[in-house]
Amino acid sequence: MSADRDQALGSLAVLVGTWRVSGTDGGEQGSVTYRWMEGGRFLIQEVDLAAEGDGAKGVEYIGFDTDTGTLRSHFFGQSGEILQYTYEVAGDTLTIWFGDRGSPAKFEGRFNADFTANTGRWVWPGGGYASTMVKV
């Protein structure tokens, strides 16, 4: 199981750094920063995003869930919300599902050749918006 965990966590390395985020159709805009927690077992994302009439500020911890064999996260927001996501980086594609893998609410985006930009779309039943992240 350790090899699976290490491989899954290693796939997140492309996210490390600060990214400028821009969305369309009222989507969120701002910045996110990913960094490894000491020990390398969790990736921490600090979120500072604004959207029409709302936004998201908080911190997310992403780690390997041995029960599901997936990269699971817990997002802690400024309003007290706690949300769970599932991450996957496969080749040049980043997928983030709200809740479990296979959820209809998700982000799917592709990295450019040097992994300094990711363009994709957040979708959920009845809605969604395009989103781009550019490493700064």
Q: Over the stretch 53-67, which tens digit does the pLDDT of each residue have?
A: 677 899 999 999 999
Mean pLDDT value across residues 45-59: 88
Listing DSSP states for 45-61 in one string gives EEEEEEETTEEEEEEEE
What is each CA distance from 22 to 29, 35, 97, in whole angstroms?
Answer: 4, 20, 19
Structural domain boundaries in the chain: 2-135
CA atoms of 116 and 48, how far apart (whole Å)? 19
Dihedral over alpha carbons 19, 22, 27, 30 (to 10 degrees): 50
Q: Is there a contact between 70 and 88 (Cβ–Cβ < 8 Å)? A: yes
Select the more confidently predicted residue: 51 or 117. 117
Residue 77, strand partner residues: 58
Residue 39, strand partner residues: none
Q: Over the stretch 112-132, which tens digit does the pLDDT of each residue have?
A: 999 999 999 999 999 999 999
Select the more confidently predicted residue: 103 or 24. 103
- pLDDT higher than threshold 80 for residue 1: no
Structure confidence at residue 53 (pLDDT): 67
Specify the CATH number for 2-135; select among 2.40.50.100, 2.40.128.20, 3.40.50.300, 2.60.120.1440: 2.40.128.20
Distance of CA 18 to the CA centre of its chain: 12
